[in-house]
Amino acid sequence: MAMQFIGKQISANGQSNNPFRVSKLKLAIHRVLIGSSALLISVPAIALAEQAEDITLQEVNVVAPALSDTRPVKGYNATRATSATRTDTELVNVPQAITVITRDAMSDQSMQSIADAVRYVPGVQAAQGEGNRDQLILRGNNTTSDLFIDGLRDDIQTYRDLYNTDRIEVLKGANGMIFGRGGAGGVVNRVSKKAGWDPVKDVSLSFGSFDHRRMTADFGQGLTDEVAFRINAVYEDSNSYRDGVDLKRYGITPTFTIRPSDKTQIELSTEYFKDKRIADRGVPSFIGSDGSNLNNRPYRISNYDQFFGNAKLSPTETETTAFNAIITHAFDNGVQVKNSTRLAYYDKFYQNIYADSSVSTGDTLRIAAYRDDTKRENLINQTDVTYTAKLGSIEHKLLAGAEFNVQDTDNTRVTGTSVNGVSASNPKVTIAMNTPNRNQKSDVTVSAFYLQDQIVLSPQWQAIVGLRHDNVDTNYVNMIGSQKINVSDNLLSPRAGLIYKPTENSSLYASYSSSYVPRAGDQLISLTVTNATFKPEKFINKEIGAKWDISRDLALTAAIFKLERQNVQAADPSNTLNSILLDGQETTGLEIGLSGKMTEKWQVMGGFTLQDGEITERQANSTAANVINKGAELALTPTRTFSLWNKYQINETWAVALGAVSRSEMYAATPTAGASTILPGYTRYDAAIFAKINPQWRAQVNIENLTNKDYALYAHNNNNITPGAPINLRATLNYQF
C-alpha cells in the first residue's frame, strides 16, 4: 500500500514553506500511518491467504491544506497578530481594541496612504500634517511618531506608501509596555510583505482624475528549498485637485527569507524610497455667518482648488534608506528567540508659504513662510525570548525582552517675513527665507527591558500582566543659543488585562495600561527649550470591551475606554511655530468595529465611534484671547464617526462596492477664549466596480465622493484646512503572470 502526503511545511511562526519539501515531523507521521495501516491489514490478510494469494490496494493521496507564506491573510478579517503581545495570539484573546486593515481591503479601496487606511478605523482620524507628513489623531491624541514597521519604530515626519505593506495593525490606547516611549493614544504598525515559497507575480497600473498615474510590481518565489526572494516596487507621478499641487514618488524593497533548518529563519530586507510633493496647507478660515468671533468656518470650501501662498515655492522631499533583519530560532527545549534590527537613514526638507491668519471682513489675510530641514538616523535592536510552561492546570506564555535604540536628529529652520493684507481673491505671495530660527541637534539613547506573562487560568479565564522599564537619555544642543541640556528619564510602563471567555470564539475583557512620551526629536518644537520642556507626557488607558468571532471570517468588537493625558504639549494659538504645555486632557468613548464576510458573497469593513475629548485644567497663556479653559474640546476629535464599506460578489466575474464615511463637526484646533474654527460635519459616499476578466487579468474602478459634496477633510490648525476632493475616479488594471 502506498500513501502520499502533499502539502506545505508550516514553520514555528505559522508561515508555509516549499510545497515539495517534507518536514521530519511529516516523515514521522508518514511512517507511523504506514506502519499502522500495515498492522491493521495484516490480520485479515492472514485469514484470507488461502482464498487469495495477492491483494492489490488502490493508491491513496492525502492532501492537506496549507497557508500561503506570501499572502497569510485573505479577505477583510485577520484573526491573529503578534504586535499586541509580541507573541502569536488570537485577537479574540487580546484585551485591547485592535483593527487590522488587510491587503485585500487596501486593494479593494485603492488605498495608497496611511490617511486612506484609517478612514474605516473607529477612534482614529487623519490630520493634515502641514502637507508634508502622516499625522493621526488616536483617541483625541495628536501624533506623528507612533508609527512602526514590523514592530520597530519608524518615526520620521514623512508620508508612507503601502506598496510593500501586507497589512496595517492599529492598536488603540496606551501601548508603552509593548512599544516603549510613545504608543500613547495608540500605534499604527505596518506589517511588511515577506519573501516566501508561494509564488507572487503581480503588476498593477492605475490612472485617474487629476492626472493620477501609478505603477506597482510585486514578484517573488523560492530560489531553492532554503532561500526565497521577493521584490516590491512603486512609481507614481500624479497631480491634484488643488492648483499647483503634484506628487512624485518611487521606491523599491527587495527581501530574502532564508531557512537553514526547520528551527531557524532569517528575514533580510532593504528599502529605498523617495517622496517629492508640494506641501499643501489648504485654506484659511473666516468669521462665521452668525457674525460671532468664536466660531469661524473654512473659507470658501467650494473653491477647493485655490492655493493660499505659493505652490511652486512650497516643495517637500523625503529620502528614506533602511535595512532590516529578523532572525528567529526555536530551541529543542521550547524556548524561541527572535532578534530584530533596523538601521534607517532619513533626509527630509520642506518649505511652505501658507495662510497664517483668518480672512478678515475686508477679505484680506496674513501669509507666512519657513523652510525646515531634518536629518535622522535610527539604529534599533530588539530581542524577544518566549517560552510556554504549564504549572499544574495553569498555562503561562512567558515573554522577556530587551530593546536598544540610538536616534540622532539634526534640525534647522529658516523663516521669512510675514506679509499682511494679502487679498484672499489673489493670495499668491513670494517670500524670501532669510531669518535663522532654529538650529538644534538631539541624540537619544534608549535601553529597555520588559517582562510579560499571558496566563490561561481555565478554559473561561485568561489574564495578561507585563512591565517595561525604559531609560531614555537625551542630549540636546541648541546651536543658536549655545544651549546644552542633558535629560535622563526612567520610565515604568505597566499593563494588565483580564479576559473572560463565555465561548471559545468570544471574550469579555478589562485592561489597564500606561505609556510615556519623552521630549526628543520631532517633539522639540518650542522656540524656547528649557529643562521643563523635557518633562515626559504620561498616558493612562482604562478599557473594557467585548470581541466575538461570529465565524472564522467575520468579527465584531466593542470597547469603552477612558484615556487620560498629563503634561500635554500643544500648539500655541498665538504662535503656530511654538508650543505650550497643558496640565491635562481626557478622552472617553465607545468604539465598535466590524470586519469580514457577512455571507459568502458579501464582505464588510467599518466602525462607529462616540467620544468626548476635553481639557481637564484651565491653561492661561500670554493674552486673554488665547486662554484655553477647562472643558474645552480637543482638536480634530469629532463626537461621532461612522464608516462602512460593503463589497458584493455578483458572480465569478463581477463585483460591486459601496462605502460611506461620516463624522460630526469638530474643532480645527483646541478652542480658546478667542476665535476658534469649526469644521462642519459631513457624509461622503464612495463606490467601486470589479471585473475578473480571466485568471490573469483583473480590473477595478474606484469612485470617490459620489455626490460631489463640498466638505472640509481635516486641518492642521485654525487656518490650515484641507478641502475634500470633488468626485474623482481611479481605474486599476492588474496582471498576474
Tell me the pLDDT tens digit for each residue of 255-278: 999 999 999 999 999 999 999 999
Determine the pLDDT at residue 82.
94
* Mean pLDDT value across residues 278-306: 83
CA–CA separation, 116 vs 192, rounded Å? Answer: 17
- Closest to 379 in 3D by CA, of 347, 420, 408, 337: 408
Task: pLDDT band for 296, please (50, 70, 90 cuts).
Answer: confident
Handedness of CA 136, 139, 142, 143 (dihedral sign): negative
Q: Could you give the CA distance from residue 507 to residue 231 in angstroms, rounded to a whole number?
A: 39
With 0-12 / 13-18 / 19 or more C-beta atoms within 10 angstroms meaning exposed / middle / buried, residue 31 is exposed
What is the reported pLDDT for 214? 98
577 has pLDDT over 60? no
In the prediction, which pLDDT does 52 show?
Answer: 46
Distance CA 413, CA 157 (A): 15
pLDDT digits (tens, 9 = 90+) for 406-449: 999 999 999 999 999 999 999 999 999 989 988 999 999 999 99
pLDDT at 30: 42
151/63: higher pLDDT: 151
Please report the pLDDT score of residue 247 as a whole number. Answer: 97
The domains located in the chain, with CATH, are 1-67 (no CATH), 190-736 (2.40.170.20)
Average pLDDT over residues 347-376: 95
**CB-based contact 341:351 (threshold 8 Å):** no
The share of the chain scoring above pLDDT 70, in percent, equals 85
Could you tell me if 485 and 534 are in contact, meaning their C-beta atoms sit under 8 angstroms apart?
yes
User: 160 pLDDT exceeds 60?
Assistant: yes
Q: Provide mean pLDDT across the span 312-321.
A: 97
Tens-digit pLDDT profile for residues 700-736: 999 999 999 999 999 999 999 999 999 999 999 999 9
First to last CA, the chain: 39
Q: Which of 112, 105, 59 is nearest to 78 (CA)?
A: 105
pLDDT for 250 equals: 98
CA-angle at 252, arms to 248 and 258, nearest 5°: 165
Classify 601 in phi/psi space as left (phi over 0), alpha (psi -120 to 50) or beta. alpha
CA-to-CA distance for 641 and 613, rounded, in angstroms?
Answer: 14
pLDDT at residue 60 greater than cutoff 80: no
pTM for this predicted structure: 0.88
Percent of the chain at pLDDT > 90 equals: 76
Whether 463 contacts 434, CB under 8 Å: no
Using the 8-state DSSP alphabet, how is residue 214 labeled? E
The yes-or-no verdict on residue 589 having pLDDT over 80 is: yes
DSSP 121: S
CA distances from 169 to 81, 151, 186, 525, 551 (A): 8, 10, 10, 28, 21
- Give the burial class of 139: count Cβ atoms within 10 A of its Cβ; 0-12 exposed, 13-18 middle, 19 or more buried: buried
Predicted confidence at residue 629, as pLDDT, reads 83
**All three cell numbers of 416:** 521669512
Confidence label for 49 from pLDDT (cuts 50, 70 and 90)? very low
Q: Is the dihedral of CA 99, 102, 108, 113 positive or negative?
A: positive
Query: Which DSSP state fits 689?
Result: E
Q: Which residues of 397-409 are buried (b: 16+ CB within 10 A; e: fewer)?
A: bbbebebebebbb
pLDDT in tens, 448-489: 999 999 999 999 999 999 999 999 999 999 888 788 989 899
User: How many other β-carbons are positioned within 10 Å of the β-carbon of residue 362?
Assistant: 9
Q: Which residue has the cell 510552561?
A: 389
Mean pLDDT of the chain: 88
What integer pLDDT is reported at residue 503 of this predicted model?
97
Integer Cα distance of 476 and 474 in angstroms: 6
pLDDT in the model for residue 170 = 97
Average pLDDT over residues 71-76: 94
Give the mean pLDDT of 680-697: 97
* 2: confidence class by pLDDT, cuts 50, 70, 90: very low
Query: Maximum Cα–Cα distance for the chain, whole Å?
Result: 113
Residue 488 to residues 115, 274, 445, Cα–Cα distance (Å): 34, 34, 9
Residue 53: pLDDT above 70?
A: no
